[in-house]
Structure 1
Amino acid sequence: MSGINSILKIFLPKDRVFYQLFEEVATTVVEMSHLLKKLVKEPSFEEREKIIAQIEDLEHKNDDLTHKIFTELSRNFITPFDREDIHYLANAMDDVADYIFASAKKINFYRVDPLHESFSKFADLIAQGSENIKTAIFELKDMKNMRQITDALVRVNSIENQADDVFDMSIERLFATESDAKEVIKKREIYQVMENATDKCEDAANVIESIIVKYA
């Protein structure tokens, strides 16, 4: 199957390769976000380890896709939109993947109980942000459904604002209810990493907005 895909890529217009790669990246990030949602509902440390291994595999896949985007960028004179926008979007999506993986790793590394409302809320928001970015990216290749793109980007901005509120409330509750200073430090760091994932979704949304303003 990979051989067929390689042959098909030869016949793709060179500027179309970028759309295919970004769609693969967006799909991979969504898969990672769904696994993170599964992780924060899993009580078993050992089962979480298995989920983290799956997330890590997808993170490596995303790294390879990002590398391919940069390789195509250096190789191709013709690109579907500004080279700097391709670069920024690839980096933003890579950052989302990195923060999802970091969130998963830290939950087990610090041996915190992930079955907590704040972790669940953050994981849901990360998944929602990733799904809306995927929606927008899949519409970029023809830009026929501008309303669908702009609605998805508006939702990403709203999700990031919700994540800010969840972070503030989680920190407030943490200081009010947790007497163990080590637990405060560990949980606060995980909250921050998860909130950063939503920030990076917003960064990706801002790049996509820049693209559609220039080319729609």
Structure 2
Amino acid sequence: MFFGKLLPREGNFFDLFNQHAERIVEAGRAFSQLVNHYSDSRLREQYDREVGEAERAADRVTHEVNRQIHRTFITPIDRDQIHQLINAMDDVADLLQDAAETMALYDLRSVNQEIHQLTDLAVRCCERVKDAVALIGKLADGPTAEAALKTCEEIDRLESDADRVMRSAMSRLFREEPDVREVLKLKAVYELLEAVTDRCEDVANLIEGIVLEHS
């Protein structure tokens, strides 16, 4: 018991979750700007760097959360929930960086309507993740818990919208694009952007579990 008294009892996990969610939104918005200014190589490189900077900042927050898990005697929610949540959130940032890097490495010459649509849905999912994360530190309040669940439901709907855009985009790609190289490039980008919304849905599912257990 003496050892337990030497360790922090709560930690600042909710603050760190919020910091990470902010980095996710920064990465998402920077990626959106990259897509919107894709024809300008200078701006494209600038926003690509911003995506990478946000992802690295998110990694640092993830590292701090995992460090605090081992240093905190009593955590505000279950340790496994903390670990799963921060790593699912970190996957979102990683996937956004992967999408930006893939577009550069594959030398994608231009972006189409489907990439714009998937990007918009991915950014909206990231923003809703930030909203949901901001609520989990106040789950003792009934209306707050309900608001968190509604936000998670919205993330689920956005992910379903991304699924539909993805299926339509793939169908059109294989029907209309004659260049096999372009098919492979676009398919990879579509899959990464849809994966961003998938992982946001995973975050939402984890938050729903936390809400139901702790509210």
Q: TM-score, normalised by structure 2?
A: 0.91
Q: Which runs of 5+ in 1 are unaligned?
A: 1-12
Q: Report which stretch shifted further, 169-178 or 143-152.
A: 143-152
CA distance in 2 between partners of 1:94 and 1:161 (Å): 21
The aligned residue for residue 154 of structure 1 is 153
**SS in structure 1 opposite 2:134?**
helix
Residue identity (%): 31
Matches within 5 A, 1:126-205: 126-143=122-139, 144=141, 145-205=144-204
Give deviations 1:80-121, integer Å, cap 9, x for gaps: 111111010011000000000111111122122443111111
Q: Is this contact kept in 2: 1:30–1:134, CA < 8 A?
A: yes
Give deviations 1:44-98, integer Å, cap 9, x for gaps: 2232111111111111111110000000001101111111110100110000000
Q: Is this contact kept in 2: 1:107–1:114, CA < 8 A?
A: no
Q: What is the aligned-residue RMSD (CA, Å)? A: 1.2
CA distance in 2 between partners of 1:21 and 1:154 (Å): 23
Q: Which runs of 5+ in 2 are unaligned?
A: 1-7
Matches within 5 A, 1:1-216: 14-42=9-37, 43-143=39-139, 144=141, 145-216=144-215
CA distance in 2 between partners of 1:113 and 1:167 (Å): 20
Q: How many equivalent pairs are there?
A: 204
Q: Is this contact kept in 2: 1:45–1:108, CA < 8 A?
A: no
How has the CA–CA distance of structure 1 residues 211 and 117 changed in structure 2, closer, same or farther, with 3 Å as cutoff? same
Q: TM-score, normalised by structure 1?
A: 0.91
Q: Which amino acid aligns with 1:73?
A: I
